[in-house]
Amino acid sequence: MVVIDDIGSFPLPSNVSRKEFDGVYIRALEAFASGKRLEEEPELEVFYRAVATSLRAKLETGLDVVTYPQHYDMHRQFMEPIEKYQHEPFLIREKFAVIPELYVVNREAWHYWEESGRPIRLRVCVTGPVELYLKTPFGFNIYEEVLMNIAESVNSFLRNSVIASKHIVTEVVSIDEPSLGFVDLLNIDRDGIIRALEKSVRGVNAKVQVHLHTLKAAEYPLEARGIDVLTGEFASSPENINFISKQELESYDKFLRGGVASTSIDRKLGSFIERGIKHPSPEQLADGVEQIKALYLRLKEKFGERMSFAGPDCGLGSWPSQEAAKLVLKRCVLAIREAENS
């Protein structure tokens, strides 16, 4: 049975501003790392409320596996603590390699258990080593020792984030590498990239995805030990279907996550503006159930049992409202379940 999940980012609740949330994020991380109860820290109330509200919104969509609500910039979320708490260049002190959203998820999972009798099935995403390296002052000039230190820092975040309890089960973790396949100027050989990916996921006790925006980069995770699932964005980038085959997945014993609903909000909004619609509704913005189902069935026909996960292409953080983002997730769940039962 295909597992329906989401990629992570999500709009903030309407009563929380970007400035408010960003202003307390690192303080929330430091409080979590220091063993404080975030819900008892008055200055962190806005952080706790935003994450708890968004988690509830995701759970209401019927996803099999939910990613913690990622509201902070995917690069700053990890580079800021790495740079602030490094004990070697870009090698973070283990204590501070934490994701404060997971404190909230863990606490709220108790309430969810009391209401539903079920644990939260969780997906944890961490920005990958190559993507983070591109945000350093070195840019495309790759120093492998620095890259490997970043990979070890990513590994610390992942290992510290796997939760297994009565109320929450971490089913899958992901390293996000959206630039792989688009950046051709990296002065490092393919084996160096593969070593960095492997170091990032070493010893992680969960199924491991790598989130790619183009499957032109599939060669790296296909050969990397410890990576189980490659993601493919097929709704926004239908050409991805030509970049990998079921036979390749079988030969490397890897699986695929199929992105079956477009999350390219700028492209969608531009299309509506061209038609004179300045404020499209959530129902207009979200791909239709039949459209999602048709793509899902096409991917199942091509990849069969090698497609083990499915959901929206990418995160929904830039969408105009939680209502619109929830509708994307709900329609994915409905379409995939209808397709599986047809």
pLDDT in tens, 18-42: 999 999 999 999 999 999 999 999 9
Q: With the CA atoms of 280, 327, 4 and 318 taken in that order, what torsion angle do they form, in degrees rounded to the nearest 10?
A: 50
Across the chain, what does the average pLDDT equal?
95
Going by pLDDT thresholds of 50, 70 and 90, the confidence category of residue 140 is: confident
**pLDDT computed for residue 186 by the predictor:** 66
Identify the CA nearest to 63 among candidates 325, 311, 317. Answer: 311
The pLDDT value recorded for residue 274 is 87
- Which DSSP symbol is given to 9? B
Q: Is residue 98 predicted with pLDDT exceeding 80?
A: yes
Q: Would you list the DSSP string of 171-205?
A: EEEEEE-TTTTT-----S-HHHHHHHHHHHHTT--
In this predicted structure, the answer to whether residue 66 has a pLDDT above a threshold of 90 is yes
Per-residue pLDDT, averaged over 280-309, amounts to 96
Say which residue the tokens 């992942």 belong to.
158
**pLDDT for 1 beyond 80:** yes
Residue 276 has pLDDT above 70, yes or no: yes
Sign of CA dihedral 120, 320, 331, 311: negative
**What average pLDDT score do residues 145-149 get?**
96
Q: Which two tokens stand for residue 171?
A: 């089913």
CA distance linking residue 165 with residue 117, whole number of Å: 13
Q: For 304, phi and psi rounded to 5 degrees? A: 55, -135
Three-state secondary structure call for residue 38: helix
| Greater pLDDT, 262 or 274 | 262
For the chain, the residue count is: 342
Burial of 101 (0-12, 13-18, 19+ CB in 10 A): buried
Average of per-residue pLDDT across 63-82? 97
Give domain 3-341's CATH architecture.
Alpha-Beta Barrel (3.20)
For position 185, what pLDDT does the model report?
55
Tell whether the model's pLDDT for residue 141 goes beyond 90: no
- Residue 77 confidence (pLDDT) above 80: yes
Q: Kindly compute the dihedral angle of the four CA atoms of residues 42, 43, 44, 46, in this order, to the nearest 10 degrees.
A: 100
pLDDT value at residue 136: 93
**Residue among 64, 97, 104 nearest 82 (CA):** 97
Distance between CA 237 and CA 215 in Å, rounded?
10
pLDDT tens by residue, 226-260 = 999 999 999 999 999 999 999 999 999 999 999 99
169 Cα distance to chain centroid: 16
| pLDDT band, very low/low/confident/very high, at 74 (cuts 50, 70, 90) | very high
> Does position 46 have pLDDT exceeding 90, yes or no?
yes
Q: What is the pLDDT of residues 191-224, one digit of tens each?
A: 999 999 999 999 999 999 999 999 999 999 999 9
Q: Is the pLDDT of residue 69 over 70?
A: yes
3-class SS shares of the chain: helix, strand, coil, % to 5: 50, 15, 35
Share of the chain above pLDDT 90, in %: 88
Reported as type and span, the H/E element at residue 309 is strand 307-312
Residues 6+ apart with CB under 8 A from 281: none
Degrees to nearest 5, angle at CA 183 with 178 and 186: 120
225 backbone φψ class: left, alpha, beta (φ>0; ψ -120 to 50): beta
Q: What is the reported pLDDT for 323?
A: 97
